[in-house]
Amino acid sequence: MNIGVSTACLYPLETEKALKELAVRGIKNVEIFMNAVNELEGEILSEMLATVEKYNVSVRSVHPFSSPMETLFLFGNYPRRTEYLIDMYKRYFEVMGRLSAKIFVLHGAILSSKVPDDIYLERYLQLYRIGKEFGVTVAQENVSYCKSCDPEFLKKMSRQLGDEVRFVIDLKQARRSNVDTFDLVDSIGDKIVHLHVSDGGEKSDCLPIGKGNFDFERLFSSMDRLGYDGTMIVELYRENYSSYDELTGCADTLGEMLKKHEAVNK
């Protein structure tokens, strides 16, 4: 398993600056959260590509700023809007090729959406297959305010889409949905390709690694059983930590936990 940090942790710092802040601190695996259309082109993209090359950073995943648009555009009932968002996401996929990123994080429709499940699955499958043409895996994330907060919905996606569906598990989103992380992992585990990790406890559902009581040892063991070889990306909100160096500390702490686990389970 690889360990990294998301540029989203540094929001609202501009994305290219956030990437460099992580890179200069020795973070070798990242998720890039794109925050504007013009970050997909021109000087901004060139700066990110230069940072990735200079610091030997591996971009494991990309998260679109346009997630809130997905309800109305991708899962709505107006074909032109669906076509528009798909075209936008094709541009993401092209950029991901230049960044060598493989996982595209999808939130999907919000809970109040009236999109029928069969249409949701149809649209997801359409985007998933387009992603594959670009060498990208479109992965559904569990999100507390989206249809994907429901484990039964995720299991339905897994069951009906077979080998053409993949998932991102976000620990804080599971907490906010009152979902047991390990039940979720057990139910769709073989199709999990990416993890957003954070600690949690009585003070907050999103804390720096080691500041809460989440059972990371159990998580490591669960992912071992699944043969998971993806990335654990630290994803915190800016109010959840005090300094950028604390993000490096989170990655280091998680790495130490993982090394200890691997040593015991050789």
Domain boundaries defined on the chain: 2-264
Bridge-based pairing state of the strands 103-106 and 231-234: unpaired
Tell me the pTM.
0.97
pLDDT reported for residue 142: 98
Extended strands (E) in the chain: 2-6, 29-33, 58-63, 103-106, 137-141, 166-170, 192-197, 231-234
- Which residue(s) pair with 167 in the sheet? 140, 192
- pLDDT for 55 equals 98
The 3-state DSSP class for residue 111 equals coil
Report the amino acid identity of residue 251. A
Write down the pLDDT at residue 203: 87
How confident is the model at residue 189, as a pLDDT?
Answer: 87
Query: Hey, is 99 helix, strand or coil?
Result: helix
Question: What is the rounded CA–CA span in Å between residue 252 and residue 208?
Answer: 11
For domain 2-264, the CATH architecture is: Alpha-Beta Barrel (3.20)
Q: What is the pLDDT, as a whole number, of residue 169?
A: 98
* Own/partner long-range contacts of 77-80 (Cβ < 8 Å, ≥24 apart): 77/115
Looking at residue 265, its pLDDT comes to 87
C-alpha 253/C-alpha 263 separation (Å) is 15
Sequence letter at residue 90: K
What string of pLDDT tens digits covers the 266 residues of the chain?
Answer: 999 999 999 999 999 999 999 999 999 999 999 999 999 999 999 999 999 999 999 999 999 999 999 999 999 999 999 999 999 999 999 999 999 999 999 999 999 999 999 999 999 999 999 999 999 999 999 999 999 999 999 999 999 999 999 999 999 999 999 999 999 999 998 999 999 999 999 989 999 999 999 999 999 999 999 999 999 999 999 999 999 999 999 999 999 999 999 999 88
